[in-house]
Structure 1
Amino acid sequence: MPQHSPDLPPELLPLAEMPLLKRLAARFFGHGLSRLRAQHRASWLHGQADGFRSGHTAGVEYGYQEGKAEGLEQGRQVLLIRDSRSTEHPAPGVDDYLFDDWRLPLSAELKKRIKADVGRLLPAHAQPSSAQWKMIFSETPSTSVIAGAGAGKSTSLVLRILLLNHYLGFELDSMTVVTFTRESRKDFINKLMEVFALWGRPLGLKEARELVRTFHSRILPMVRSLPGFERLQAFENLSDRPAAGDLEVDSNPFDLRINDAQRKHLNACYHALHRRDGRFREAIKPLLRHSLQLKELERDHPDVQKRMAVTELAAKRDEELCDTLEDLWFRAGAWPIKGIEPNRQTVEINGSQFHCHGYVAELDAWVVLGFDPRENPQLSRPGSKLSVRAEWAVKRTLFQAFCRKPMIWLDSYESAKRVLSSLAGDASAGPGFDYKVKGELASAPLLDCFVAAAGFIENLGLDVSVAVGQMVFARDDPDRFFFEALSLFWRALDDHLLDQSPPIMSYNRMFSLFGENTPENFKLLSDERLRPMSHLMIDEFQDVSPQIVSWIRASLREIRSRGPAMHVGRGAQRSSLLCVGDDWQSIYGWRGSSPKYFMEFNKEFPSPATSRVMLSENYRSHQHIIDAAEHIVRAAPAIAGKKAKASGEPKEVLPVNVLDRDDQGLAARLAEHYRNGDSILMLFRKSSDKLLIEDHILPIVNVDSRLPTEERRLKQLTYHSSKGLQADAVFLLGDCQHLTSSPYKNQVYRMAGLGKDGDSEPYDNAQKDETLRLAYVGITRAVKHCYWYVDSPDTQAANAPKASDRIPQGKPFFADLRA
């Protein structure tokens, strides 16, 4: 049987599948009709139509099915080849820049004109170098200028202001130049007025003072513009003396001294809180006990070793000694003391029995009466070879080394009065006792400790209560109670100050009002009040704190968000930031500052374009001074590529002389330089050193102090206070050394994101670097001569890192003359 085509349309299949005989009959019959030409026309036409329709329909459906299948296959192949669309759907990026993408409009012709004017109007020694011109002509929204010691940055900053105002028409009220201290502000204002006058643009003192600011004097007007704060006073500026003009808003950010006007508020807040808050009272008790408690002595201390031998003898005479001391205190009207139960108890020391005089239930501590220094030191008991004072000293030493009970040792009648007032909670001068936070060099009145610790935390941009809540201390560590009390006190102090009339607020609180965590407050500021932050030029930027950085960034973001409407009708448009600094001169980490923000400038102040300028010429010192200072500081992390070169006329090079501490020899050498007409800086690390050396240089001090201020050639300052100064001869007294470890500062440093990841002691390690930078600052004050007198390290400090460890052997820029 023949096979029909598998592709035959269904309509034709019945004919093809007829039996063979029927199919032959049909063909024969059809052939015959065709020969007779016998056709039924209508049937044929109908058949033709039906066949056409059925064939057309079948063909269309068949073709459609085949074409569709073929087309889909081809289409799939084309899409797989040509479709490059991503299957992901990322969101648009965020423009987090602080500035618009713009450039300062400086043409080649304008630059040429400015250089010609500077060449004509400024003396030869004040002509900018090529690097300084790069700073002056920076066109980008942000600029960082690395300016080492003696780099001549002040003149460059003045010319930058002249460029913006005189040549480009930027209004002065759109700019702020920030200096760090009153002294540097005064010097810069004078230089600015002098240069503007040369260009025929007299600048009044008031106008100059509006432009040149400290951070503090810029934030206070911001806050005073808020409703209800028009007469706001800064806590740091409170004084019993009347304010002189805008000096009231121009304080030193690193002055920690508390005056009487400030202390009145601290004391009033303390006593009010102590009366109403039981938790605060409970937190204060262990602090009081700790402050009064006899301080421990190591058992290998020489005094302990010497007096251990007479322990048994001292115990035999102890009851009689107690009787004598109680009689002295009773006659002085200082015993008994309210709050101290006069109850003798025995204490065992190395197997021998000694006695206490009383017990303070509130503090759970025992009391021993001492020998008041106003009594006759020769007083002795009948039959005793030792004076009462000497017997008492032996007992005290033994208790310090071997007694582990909480013991309050009253050294004088006056100290007893302080204890009494402290226990009563009514001390007119505050809590009435000192405290020492771990890591600090010395104890201080409790409220002074509160101010210092809170200031450090807030300078790091942290809230005191939040930071305290994240701290961890050992259960028996008194610092645990100190910070609990601080948290309660600091919140109460803020409220107390704001309740005054007029209200009072700390500068740190003001900066936090306009920081990155409170951007909504900017909506309360007018354009006029915000506009001076548009074009910022900041000196000494290496000493900026996280708190200040947050304020600067928040201000710049707000200015950008307000857009062109803020600058309508004005020559100054948009915003810019130019920061000048030297990370090698960052020496205020103990107050919460950090060079991080200068070292990582591009990251901390994101900009569509930024410039970096390196001022490496030193116009102050000769090359040996420069090389010696840089050798010391290179062990600390620093901006890469720094190397200063002495500029100007060739100078005689002399090494930095390193000598053993010799106050008489120092005085003789200092006198010789004074006779030769040199200017002199005497720099010291401790105030006690100043007192010691003054005994030797008193004749020179007396002569110099009688001269007019501008003619004086001797200045005595701390290393820190010498920044920005210079002298022909510099005398450095004392090493730069990190002596302590601060558990709480290490903790808050980590909270603030400072230090390296994983570093458990970021603050301590930062301070070790800072000791090197402090030595760099001291040495680079010298123009010609530098003498460094180094003490022999005591036992406590023998292993502590110090700057003098970096003094090399065999280098021409150091002469190590120590024995």
Structure 2
Amino acid sequence: MSQHRPDLPPDLLPLAQMPWFKRLAARFFGHGLTRLRAQHRASWLHGQADGFRSGHTAGFDYGFSEGKAEGLEEGRQVLLIRDSRSTEHPAPKVDDLLFDDWRLPLTADLKKRMKADVARLLPAHAQPSNAQWKMIFSDTPTTSVIAGAGAGKSTTLVLRIVLLSQYLGFELGSMTVVTFTRESRKDFIEKLISVFSLWGRAISVKEARDLVRTFHSRILPMVRSLPGFERLQAFETLSHRTGTDDEDAQANPFDLRINDAQRQQLNACYHGLYQRDERFRELIRSLSRHALQLKELERDHPDVQKRMAVTELAAQRDEALSDAIEDLWFRAGAWPIKGVEPKRERFEINGSRFFCHGYIPALDAWVMLGFDPRENAQLSRPGAKLSLRAEWAVKRTLFQAFCRKPLIWLDSYEEAKRVLASLAGNATAGPGFDYKIQGELGSAPLLDCFVSAAGFIENLGLDVPDAVGRLCFSQDDPDRHFFEALSRFWRGFEDHLLDQSPPVMTYNRMFSLFSEHSPENFKLLDDALLRPMSHLMIDEFQDVSPQIVSWLRATLGEVRKRGPAMHVGRSAQRTSLLCVGDDWQSIYGWRGSSPSFFMDFTKQFRSPAHTRVMLTDNYRSHQYIIDAAEHIVRAAPSIPGKKAKASGEALSPSPVNVMERDDEGLARRIEEHYRNGDSILILYRRSGDKSLIQKYIEPTVNVDSSLPYAQRRLRQMTYHSAKGLQADAVFLVGDCQHLTRSPYKNQIYRLAGLGQEGDAEPYDSAQRDEILRLAYVGITRAVQHCYWYVDGQDSQAANAPKASDRIGVGKPFFIDHRRARG
């Protein structure tokens, strides 16, 4: 209820507070006066006061309520603006980085001091470029260096070590420099010792060898630290020789040749598994029958068409021919063969009857004896117009075209001995036959094929039995049996090796023990084994395999996980990774390597900060050599922005000369360059090519080989073996071609997550790119002159992709003498 103002005069009290009879009279007189339109001053004053009071009260009440509402609203708005709390409850993010967020403590004064020292101590031609200084002074946890052919990366990498050790005080024991081969390791060690001596620091050979390692020599001590594996040997370096340094024995990780000590272990495992595993025996019999069986020829093949006309004549003399061949085998002590029943069986070939020599019950296959190549090719039957060898060749061709029974054709006495040993279950012998996996260029002993296929699968970071279980083949594809046998053999072989004294293990098995799939095994390693992995510098990083990448990531992650406690009392703290490579020089895809890890470096090695360096100066070749090689390889996927330039122009640069294969002309040109005092590299695509041209270049080879080794100027090797080398004149013999499709490797690539999504043949796609990179490697070995001799049209490879298809027409850096002559 509203109250009156206490300061009003009594005569202006509200009407409601007057006595009732006065109120009645007032209302009566007021009503009358209103009717008369008269005014009573006192009443007017009372009415005015009454109106003022009621208006004031109403206004006060309205203003209070409105003001209160506005004030509360304003108060609520202020509260909402200030309350920034989230109504959601997200989980913390996962730190999936392999490195701490840190930087090398490189001050401007330190950089200036080192640059001055380098200018004073190194010759003018060895002074780093701006890009090389960027590599040396990279201060981020990860650094990738794209270094093309002839980029001078070795000296730059040595100076990086000088920076870490001499100027920052990092202990050499905290670092590892990784090279891929024993030869490259030896060269780097010599350069390291030489450069450090300029700074007045004498590094012993042992210190340098401890610092410069191969991946294989770094993993071996890790596994040897495990209980029971102190004397572990690597299968790849297994040898009958004593005193071999396992850590230095791995000359080339891509060398698949198997020595006698390794083959002894393979054969022993095979023999034991063959005896106890019935399914394995069934698989081997099936593979043996397929491998030894005479390969078919199409009936429209020229040899078949030519010899079909003499089918009847050949059939008439076949029994006499069979007797003569059998006599040769008997005199050689190669017949009869234990396990082969010596009985004649008639075969109908193109309407005529011929004979075979025996039957193998274990393989359910017939046996035909061939003409051993060591016999006199002029031998013939009395009165026969053709030699035994010629008669045999006619018969063989007819059987290849028209015989559909399982038939094993033994071409030599030596082959028969292998079959004999296999059938007899000889513990020192393997299966006794060669096998060819679809997509491979040639056949090889079955156990060698097992080692090669298992190595490829494991290099891609996969387990052999698991991967085999996910492969798929058609019902009648013999590779289906091959891979099932491989799965059984490989697991048995790993167990067999571990049972040896001392135990033996493959390098791939060692890497898998400390990969991302087995992080718990790192708990068994002391800090001392992991400290050298703190600051890694890796050369030729484009050639790493998925298996190696998994090991690197797991190791770096473990070092970071152990934290500062691992580095107490040391100047070198935390971890870093510097990788040098060139995706254009990745040429080991057939072995399981992939340039994708270098091309996607920042995704593969997650870091809070990264430095990328592009070394574009080429200190080896002139610009025509560089442009020709890059023109070939540029069609392959690569890191963008690459374009090399010669550091010093030749006075008269010579284009790359492309020629038809001409061994006599090649020999003349080699001799000419040798007389001029040039160093020479002859690079072959196929090992057989080397023997074909030896008779033409023999005089030059003899002169060179008579000189002391340091003075020799002529070397011969495959394209793959020439990486890192150079010569004044390079001769490339043979094209780089992709000749086959590999169904199993395409499947393995997909299982490993390599290749483009949706590509049904990712491995073959990678190989088509790799032939271009191989040509690039070959051409960029040349300092001044490069000659490329390619074969004429080969029917086998008529439609196969080849690097020479990319030779530029009308380009100044190529002279294609084939087109000029045509």
Normalising to structure 1: TM-score of the pair? 0.89
Bigger drift between 293-302 and 716-725 goes to 293-302
Task: Give the letter aligned to residue 647 of structure 1.
Answer: S
Distance change >3 Å, CA 135–CA 696, structure 1 → 2: same
Deviations 1:236-265 (A, max 9, x none): 111122235565454321111111111111
Q: Does 1:512 align with 2:512?
A: yes
Q: C-alpha distance in 1, partners of 2:706/2:332?
A: 47
Match of 1:672 in 2: 672
Query: What is the alpha-carbon distance in structure 1 between the residues aligned to residue 577 and residue 87 of structure 2?
Result: 42
**What's the CA shift string for 1:394-425, capped at 9, x where partnerless?**
11101111222211112234433332222222
How much has 1:204 moved relative to structure 2?
Answer: 0.7
Quick one: which amino acid aligns to residue 665 of structure 2?
Answer: G
CA contact under 8 A between 1:344 and 1:357: conserved in structure 2? yes
Task: Name the residue aligned to 2:456.
Answer: 456
Instruction: For residue 539 of structure 1, report the CA deviation from its aligned partner.
Output: 0.3
Following the alignment from structure 1 to structure 2, what is the Cα–Cα distance between the partners of residues 288 and 140? 57
Q: Alpha-carbon deviation of 1:649?
A: 5.5
Task: Tell me the residue number matched to 1:421.
Answer: 421
Mapping of residues 761-780 of structure 1, within 5 Å: 761-780=761-780
Q: Which residue of 2 aligns with 1:606?
A: 606
Q: Which residue of 2 aligns with 1:356?
A: 356
Cross-structure match for 1:91? 91
- Residues 217 and 405 of structure 1: is their aligned pair in 2 closer, same or farther, counting only changes over 3 Å? same
Deviation per CA, 1:284-333: give whole Å up to 9, x if none: 11111122110112222221110011223323443444344445545655
Matches within 5 A, 1:278-677: 278-330=278-330, 334-373=334-373, 377-381=377-381, 384-426=384-426, 428-648=428-648, 650-677=650-677
Instruction: Compute the displacement of 1:686 (Å).
Output: 1.3
Tell me the distance in 1 between the aligned counterparts of 2:176 and 2:340: 60
In 2, Cα distance between equivalents of 1:516 and 1:164: 29
Counterpart code for 1:149: A
The residue aligned with 1:115 is 115
Identity %: 78
Any conservation in 1 of the 2:459–2:593 contact (CA below 8 Å)? yes
Q: Measure the CA separation in 2 of the matches of 1:736 and 1:650.
A: 28
The amino acid across from 2:483 in the alignment is F
Are the equivalent residues in 1 in contact too, given 2:182–2:248 (CA < 8 A)?
A: no
Q: Gaps (5+ residues) in structure 1?
A: 1-29, 33-66
CA distance in 2, matches of 1:693, 1:198: 46
Shift of 1:760: 1.3
Give, in whole Å, the separation in 1 of the partners of 2:782 and 2:581.
19
- Asked whether the 8 Å contact 2:680–2:728 carries over to 1, the reply is yes
How far apart are the structure 2 equivalents of 1:621 and 1:699?
A: 29
Q: Shift of residue 335 of structure 1?
A: 4.1
Shift of 1:459: 0.7
Distance 1:798 1:309 in 2: 30
Distance 1:338 1:466 in 2: 38
- Report the equivalent of 1:692: 692
Distance in 2 of aligned mates of 1:428 and 1:279: 21
Q: Deviation per CA, 1:165-222: give whole Å up to 9, x if none.
A: 1100110000000011111111111111111110011111100000001111111111
Q: Deviations over 1:441-464 (max 9, x none)?
A: 111111111111111111111111
1:198 corresponds to 2:198: yes
Give 1:153's aligned residue: 153
Q: CA deviation at 1:711?
A: 1.3
**CA-CA distance at 1:86 after TM superposition:** 6.0
Aligned residue for 2:797, secondary structure, equals coil
Would the aligned equivalents of 1:680 and 1:730 in 2 still touch at CA under 8 Å?
A: yes
The amino acid of 1:467's aligned partner reads A
Q: Does 1:172 align with 2:172?
A: yes
Per the alignment, in what secondary structure is the counterpart of residue 587 of structure 1? coil
| 2:469 partner SS | helix
Give distance in 2, aligned partners of 1:217 and 1:256: 18
- Cα distance 1:283–1:637, how it changes in 2: closer, same or farther (>3 A)? same
The code of the aligned residue for 1:116 comes to A
Q: For 1:487, give the aligned amino acid.
A: S
CA contact (8 A) 1:216 1:249 kept: no
Shift of 1:129: 0.3
Q: Provide the aligned C-alpha RMSD in A.
A: 2.7
SS at match of 2:289: helix
Map 1:24-35; keep pairs closer than 5 Å.
none
Question: Structure 1's 73 and 344: CA in aligned 2 closer, same or farther, altered over 3 A?
Answer: farther
* Aligned-partner Cα distance in 2 for 1:246–1:470: 35
Count of aligned residue pairs for this structure pair: 762
CA distance in 1, matches of 2:485, 2:338: 25
The code of the aligned residue for 1:811 comes to K
TM-score (norm 2): 0.88
Equivalent in the alignment of 2:15: none
Structure 2 partner of 1:58:
none
Distance 2:387 2:189 in 1: 65
CA contact (8 A) 1:560 1:575 kept: yes
Distance 1:388 1:374 in 2: 13
8 A contact 2:264–2:428 mirrored in 1: no
Distance (whole Å) between structure 1 residues aligned to residue 383 and residue 696 of structure 2? 46
Q: Secondary structure at the match of 1:254?
A: coil
Match of 1:52 in 2: none
What amino acid sits opposite 1:103 in the alignment? R
CA contact (8 A) 1:730 1:781 kept: yes
Alignment of 1:60-79 (within 5 A): none
For 2:550 and 2:416, how far apart are their aligned partners in 1?
A: 47
Contact 1:680 1:727 in 2 (8 A): yes
Instruction: Judge conservation of contact 1:172–1:211 (CA < 8 Å) in 2.
Output: yes
Between the aligned partners of 1:416 and 1:251, the Cα distance in structure 2 is 35
Cα 1:383–1:605, aligned 2, differ >3 Å: closer, same or farther? same
Structure-2 separation of matches of 1:667 and 1:388: 38
Moved more, 621-630 or 225-234: 225-234
Counterpart in the other structure of 1:40: none
Task: Flag the 1:588–1:305 CA change in 2: closer, same or farther, 3 A.
Answer: same
* Letter matched to residue 140 of structure 2: T
Partner amino acid for 2:671? Answer: A
Match of 2:35 in 1: none
Which AA in structure 2 matches 1:596?
S
Q: Is the 8 A contact 2:511 2:548 kept in 1?
A: yes
* CA deviation after TM superposition for structure 1 residue 693, in Å: 1.8
2:622–2:649 contact (8 Å) kept in structure 1: no
- Matches of 1:535 and 1:609 in 2, distance apart? 15
Aligned-partner Cα distance in 1 for 2:522–2:547: 16
**Structure 1 pair 379–123 and aligned structure 2 pair: CA distance change class (3 A):** closer
* Partner-residue secondary structure (3-state), 1:470: coil
In the alignment, which residue of structure 1 is the partner of 2:791? 791
Distance 2:372 2:575 in 1: 66
User: Matched residue of 2:176: which SS?
Assistant: strand
| 2: CA distance, partners of 1:449 / 1:227 | 33
Structure 2: 5+ residue stretches without partners: 1-18, 22-66
- Indicate the SS of the match to 1:796: helix
Deviation at 1:225, TM superposition (A): 1.4
- Report the Cα distance in structure 2 between the residues aligned to 1:186 and 1:592, rounded to whole angstroms: 25
Structure 2 counterpart of 1:727: 727
Alpha-carbon distance change, 503 to 79 in structure 1, aligned in 2, over 3 angstroms: same
By how many angstroms is 1:749 displaced?
Answer: 0.9
- Is the CA contact (8 Å cut-off) linking 2:730 and 2:787 kept in structure 1? yes
Amino acid across the alignment from 1:426 = N
Displacement of 1:374 in angstroms is: 5.1
